[in-house]
A and B are shown apart, each in its own frame.
Chain A
Amino acid sequence: MRKGKKILSAALASAMALSLAACSSGTAEETTTAAAETTAAAEETTAASEEETTAAAAEGEGFNLAVCLASEPQTIDPALNSAVDGAIMINHMFEGLVKWVDNGEGAAELAPGQAESWEKTVNDDGTVTYTVTLRDGIKWSDGQPVTAGDFEYSWKRLASPETAADYCYMIDMVKGYAEVSTGEADPDTLAITAVDDKTLEIVLTYDCPYFEEIMAFPATFPVRQDIVEGNEEWTYDPATYIGNGQYRMTEWSHNAYILTEKNPEYYDYENLGPDTIRYTLLDDDNAILAAYNSGELQFIESLPTDEVANYLASGELQIVDYIGTYYVCFNTEDEIFSDPRIRKAFSLVIDRNYIVEQVTQTGQVPASGFVPYGVYDAEGSSGDDFRTVGGDYYSVAAEDYEANCEEARQLLAEAGYPDGEGFPAVDYLYNTGDEHKSIAEALQNMWQTELGVTVNLNNQDWNVFLQTRKDGDYQIARNGWIADYNDPCSFLDMWYTDGGNNDAQYSNPEYDALIDAAKATSVQSERMEAFHQAEDILMGQDSVHAPIYFYTQKYMLDDSVSGMYYTPLGYFFFGYTSQQ
């Protein structure tokens, strides 16, 4: 026994010695490369400043914008990113075929980006071919030209299961995607081809009405094969983080800031605003607000909840549209909540005005349907939006609240529980957080007083909560959905039977058929008609969930800065801002 122990410890000791040796040699190598890179970077900087006397090599004089979006981004690889903060940075350091530009009123609209123009032809078999011509003079931040081949590579990389990108499905309309994404076919079979350096051909299985927006979506931005391949850590080093956008990274001090400067290779370099944009990486709301107030930050997106009302009243805090819905999701497979009458009763007694005015207090809009305002209907940006056309599924006017409650009580009685008698205690699940808790308590109170039912509140740590909700191991749960692109499809196809985000475990063949019908046609009016009918079933007939409010985006921008613009997808653009 003793001997055994000795042998074991000797083995472990030698193992440790080995690992130490391995470590140190690794570090030595890294240090050398790092040193080499620093020299290279220094040389580049000198070269750049010689070329462009106006380029500020580091933060110094000129216009240096400091913004705070969130803490350290999980990734700024365009294909792998799935967060809004990452998307904003990527929007500044890369550019897709299409880009977002200012419409003159601070709202973003689509315009040709790396593409100069594109032509759409409908083929005989119903597929659609986009022939895209690239802009002249587009370059990577290291000076190499951007070619159609770069786009071909990047899109195939996005679709490949080897990349395992969260947002791979964004290009599911491209022909061959279904087979590539499951690994049945080689990524090379994806129907995107570089005809020559300037011409790109993309074949879609159907005429996707929001394809131009997809071409402006960060996951579809080009990356360079020679940089990305074989180096999983390419995004962490300014020397290998080569983009084709307005700004380029000069420094990343982890968990502190990412510093970017104007990219001299960008075709519209002359007109760019800030000499540098610094993304300060913070997650503490109090610290963020303190830094804004002391002038260390010029733009912030979050502040402590209890400060919101003050800053809103003083006009410093701005509220803009954000395409997303905060809702309460019922488990349709639960014994009690499988009855749509009960679900509807629970939805009707929610006083949404009280929640947005007294609880959340940041200008959210009471939700009268699942698809929020601002989502395009058949007429696109010029016509009424989807919500306006679809109308309300219940009245959210304050004066109708009593009538709603009356209807709810009737429904509950029909379901066999007059005045809530005999209704078993049910559980409401939310993820730990002050605001979710306040909303949960308000809901609990409304259900108790108006329906006479007992609802117990449970909260779980974020990650555990997500797992529980996904597994359908709950009765009522809080939920939220933010759209990826401006189309009702982004909100409605998730309720398809066995959909990955169908937390309600909802399944209705009639609903599925309507979604299929909507996806099968490219005639906008028919599509929208099908989507409206689908929402009628989801909300009007089945009351699968109880939408509470439509999200809004809040932000504070220093008075001296102007020229920022925004899309309701949550992207802010700083590249053309100026300072007085």
Chain B
Amino acid sequence: MGKYVIKRLCMALVTIFFVTCLTFLLMNAVPGSPWLSEKTPSEATLAALNAKYGLDQPVPVQLLKYLQNLLHGDFGVSLKMQKNRDVLSIILEMFPVSAKVGAIALCWAVLVGVPLGCLAAFKRGRLTDSFLRVVCTLGISMPSFVVASILLVVFAGGIQALKIFPTLFDPSQGWKTYVLPCFALGFYPMCYTARQTRSAMLDSLNQEYIKTARAKGLKNGRIIFKHALRNALIPVITYLGPQVAFTLCGGFVVESVFSIPGLGRYFVQSIQNRDYPVIMGTTIFLASFIILMNMAVDILYKIADPRINLTKGGE
């Protein structure tokens, strides 16, 4: 296990190295520059700006310098969006905001989605199952900005009597401010999880060992939660791994609608602004996080199903 983790970590470092180089080159290949605006500064000012931030060097030299700084933990400073501010401190400030909303959203998605999936599987073909199917299909097919907009209109001022939650994201207002964005962000994963659980559950309920369990005379609840669920969880975990990374790093759409100062929105804006160090910093951060999450999932497999062998390709 330990050896496996070390191997994965080394591979992760190599991946991050390639992600860094590729992003750096691609980003410089896109037309535009951070200094452009409706009023373009004079040539002399442009030259001074490029010199100040090292953009006057050839791209390979810039890349080498960037990598060198990166090894010292220096992500550079923002060129435009928060001029001269350290990129790492921007990320460390925004990530927790995204992560908190994302974590709450995922928690409720899993805590509600998995039991609902079990319920639907257990009541297969009955009214409850049909009802849950309609809800889940809706949730999967509806883009999150639609969910967010509906919530905003209904619960945040559109209908005065129902104005329960604040329109703007403001952590000082406590739990109330998290309700709508977390619901909007978690609705899709909840529905998806429920569906996944349902089909995986049905699959495992038909397995021989469940029949054995029934033959032994075990109670239904025990069969479902102790025997069937454990197997049914594998596809759910597979789905949740990358989803954790994406959700925690911020859903761009939901962050825009609720004006949440999170990393997801900032990442997209940094590309539009050609704020090179911010693009690099957020990309590296997100890539590392996704890689780590995938690794965590592989390890979780092992816990869910001890037969899975991580080291030797499952011999």
Contact = CB atoms under 8 A, between A and B. Distances in A.
Contacts, number: 156
Nearest to A292: B167
Nearest to A25: B73
A164 B272 contact: no
Interface in B17-39: 17, 30-33, 36-39
Interface residues of A, number: 65
Contact of B73 (A20, A74, A164, A256): A20
Contacts of A168: 45
Interface string A246-276: 0000000111100000000000000000000
B45 A165 contact: yes
Nearest to A462: B272
B247 interface: no
Interface stretch (B84-92, B134-142, B210-218): B84-92
Interface string A275-315: 00000111110110011011010000000000000000000
A230 interface: no
A256 B82 contact: no
Contacts of B167: 287, 290-291, 294, 296
B257 interface: yes
Interface string B70-95: 11111001001111111011101110
Contacts of A72: 81-82, 261
A562 interface: no
Nearest to A473: B31
B36 A470 contact: yes
Interface stretch (B8-16, B58-66, B196-204, B221-229): B8-16
Given A254-B93, A287-B257, A18 B71 contact: yes
Contacts of B71: 15, 18-19
Contact of B170 (A75, A165, A256, A482): A256
Contact of A166 (B45, B89, B257): B45
Contacts of B93: 254
Contacts of B49: 164
A541 B152 CA distance: 54
Contacts of A281: 261
B44 A181 contact: yes
A485 B73 CA distance: 44
Interface in B120-147: none
B115 interface: no
B157 A293 contact: yes
Given A16-B13, A256-B169, A464-B31, A82 B37 contact: yes
Contact of B163 (A26, A233, A294): A294
B207 interface: no
Contacts of A296: 166-168
Interface in B149-168: 152, 156-157, 163, 166-168
A255 B89 CA distance: 14
B176 to A, nearest CB: 13
Contacts of A479: 38
Contacts of B82: 72, 74-75, 236, 254
Interface string B264-278: 001000001110000
B14 A12 contact: yes
Contact of A466 (B32, B85, B89, B152): B32
Contacts of A20: 73
Nearest to A21: B73
Contacts of B90: 254
A22 B157 CA distance: 48
A209 B166 CA distance: 50
Contacts of A470: 36, 40
Contacts of A500: 40-43
Contacts of B47: 161
Contacts of A122: none
User: Which one of B48, B81, B92, B152 has the highest number of Cβ atoms from chain A below 10 Å of its Cβ?
Assistant: B48
A296 to B, nearest CB: 6
Contacts of B36: 463, 466-467, 470
A393 to B, nearest CB: 23
Nearest to B36: A466
A169 B80 CA distance: 20
Interface residues of B, number: 61
A13 B9 contact: yes
B258 interface: yes
User: Which one of A30, A290, A296 has the highest number of Cβ atoms from chain B below 10 Å of its Cβ?
Assistant: A290
Contacts of B39: 82, 166, 481-482, 501
A9 interface: yes
A466 B9 contact: no
A159 B87 CA distance: 27
Contacts of A501: 39-40
A287 B258 contact: yes
Contacts of A254: 82, 90, 93-94, 261
Nearest to A59: B172
A287 B37 contact: no
Contacts of A8: 14
A339 to B, nearest CB: 27
A236 B85 contact: yes
Given A18-B71, A463-B273, A294 B83 contact: no
B52 interface: yes
A420 B10 CA distance: 66
A41 interface: no
A8 B85 CA distance: 33
B13 A9 contact: yes
A74 B38 contact: no
A290 B38 CA distance: 29
A105 interface: no
A162 B43 contact: no
B194 to A, nearest CB: 30
A351 interface: no
Interface in A137-183: 161-166, 168-169, 181-183
Contacts of B83: 74-75, 77, 80
Contacts of B32: 461, 463-464, 466-467
Nearest to B265: A255
Contact of B259 (A13, A82, A282): A282
B253 to A, nearest CB: 11
17 contacts: A13-B10, A22-B73, A26-B73, A26-B88, A72-B81, A72-B261, A82-B39, A164-B52, A233-B84, A254-B261, A284-B257, A284-B259, A286-B257, A294-B163, A461-B32, A467-B31, A482-B38
Interface of A: 8-9, 12-13, 15-16, 18-20, 22-23, 26-27, 30, 72, 74-75, 77, 80, 82, 161-166, 168-169, 181-183, 232-233, 235-236, 253-256, 280-284, 286-287, 290-291, 293-294, 296, 461-464, 466-468, 470, 479-482, 500-501
Q: Lowest 3 CB-CB distances: which A-B pairs, in order?
A: A255-B261, A463-B32, A9-B10
Given A282-B259, A463-B32, 14 more contacts: A19-B72, A72-B81, A75-B83, A80-B83, A164-B45, A183-B48, A232-B84, A236-B85, A255-B266, A256-B169, A294-B157, A461-B272, A464-B30, A468-B31
